[in-house]
């Protein structure tokens, strides 16, 4: 099951970067969730952020971020980003994920939709 994000920007690129950073934060609460975006997940620069956020060495953060990126392939279609669930989420888990996405994108002022299927 995936939670898809469609960004109606602007700023689309900044929104994608914010969602990648949110993915690191989300991984603390939902370790079974991975992510993918049209950039293919920028794991290397994101590892520095993960090391700082999670307070772990950069090497360990690099491995952790690479594990966060979905390996299921290109299934974005009309969407810009998705979070992939290893198992079907509960309604409460979906609410928490949506709240974290809202929090990440609110400062940018962009419009977006969230679809889980």
pTM here is 0.75
pLDDT tens, residue by residue, 59-93: 776 666 666 655 555 555 688 888 888 889 999 99
pLDDT at 9: 76
| Gyration radius (Cα) of the chain, Å | 13
Among 6-15, 72-81, 99-108, name the one with the lowest average pLDDT: 72-81
pLDDT tens, residue by residue, 28-64: 788 777 777 655 555 445 666 667 776 767 677 666 6
Cα separation, 36 vs 25, in Å, equals 15
Residue boundaries of the structural domains of the chain: 2-116
Beta pairing partners, 35: 69, 83
The total number of residues written for the chain in this structure: 117
Phi first, then psi: give them for residue 100, nearest 5 degrees.
-70, -35
pLDDT at 44: 47
Name the residue among 14, 11, 29, 43 with its Cα closest to residue 95. Answer: 29
């Amino acid at each position: 099951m995936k939670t898809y994000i469609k960004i109606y920007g602007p700023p689309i690129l900044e929104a994608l970067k914010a969602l990648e950073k949110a993915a690191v934060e989300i991984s603390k609460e939902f370790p079974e969730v991975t992510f993918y975006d049209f950039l293919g997940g920028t794991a290397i620069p994101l590892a520095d952020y993960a090391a700082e956020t999670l307070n772990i060495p950069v090497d360990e953060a690099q491995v952790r971020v690479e594990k966060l990126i979905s390996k299921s392939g290109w299934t974005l279609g009309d969407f810009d980003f998705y979070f992939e669930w290893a198992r079907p989420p509960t309604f409460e888990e979906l609410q928490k994920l949506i709240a974290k996405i809202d929090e990440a994108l609110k400062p940018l002022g962009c419009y977006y939709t969230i679809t889980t299927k």
